[in-house]
Amino acid sequence: MMTTAPKMTAADTFAIGGDLVVNRMGYGAMRLTGQPANFGPYPDWDAGKALLRRAAELGVNFFDTARAYGPHWNERLLGEALEGDPQAVIATKGGIDKLSPTQLLRDASPGALSRHIDDALAALRTDRVDLFQLHWVDPNTPIEVSVAALADAQAAGKIRHIGLSNVSVDELRAAQAVAPIASVQNRYNVRERDQDAMIDVTAAEGIAFIPYGPLGAHPMKPGAPLAAAAGQGTRTGAQTALRALLDRAPNIIVIPGTTSITHLEENVLA
């Protein structure tokens, strides 16, 4: 039997930046890329688009991608699949280029970020990115300088909200001194809980916390994802793990990724 969209309540949503309301069960698109290590285009392009559209049918309206996924290819896939969907909120990230399956180049200089934003607009087929996140802090560019460049793009109408990824609380504070920060995306799951302090800070300040690796998967370390014991009211261990994150704080938006429509439907039931 095909899964139908669950009925959403206020507790199932969060307003990113105070005005961009999304369902807290999102979708992380990183795996819709080539292999190994999420490099190159997704080999079954039409199936990837079908999965994204099925997610939207199930009520998922928050989709997370990044320039580094592919690179570029993942943003293009989402742009093709979700173009014209008024409910779809797409978050992307910049400041990193993927040069090979094992080599990343961090460049969050103002010039690079300006180029990454323009590329994202073209790939996503939109005139404004809903949420543009600094993927990593560039060791050669102070975070304040990177965020100032994002603020300039925001003022120009190219991005709606600014987010951060892979940051500490101190780095969040430095960024906030330059511009409002709408989200933080750091690695977190029921076994890797070193971000509890960040969750408390962001929850208190109305900032979205978007845990990546919510089921323990790691793109650079192949292996079995998190195996959580199924609990009462859930159908799979994955549902148990996702539900635990959603219950941790009301500002958490989970972004499990999958290439299977069956797994997608099971995750949404969390």
**Catalytic residue positions, numbered:** 69
Q: What is the Cα–Cα distance from 74 to 268, expressed in whole angstroms?
A: 21
Query: Which residue reads 């996924």 in tokens?
Result: 69
Q: What is the Cα–Cα distance from 129 to 131, expressed in whole angstroms?
A: 6
Give one DSSP letter per residue of 89-134, joined into a string: EEEEEESEEEEETTEEEE--SHHHHHHHHHHHHHHHT-SSEEEEEE
Q: What is the Cα–Cα distance from 63 to 87, expressed in whole angstroms?
A: 11
- The conformational region for residue 233 under phi > 0 = left, psi -120 to 50 = alpha, else beta, is left
Q: What angle do CA 41, 46, 52 make, to 5 degrees?
A: 90
- The answer to whether 257 and 29 have CB atoms below 8 angstroms apart is yes
Over its C-alpha atoms, the chain yields an Rg (Å, rounded) of 17
Residue 24 per-residue DSSP state = S
Query: Which residue reads 């690079």 in tokens?
Result: 112
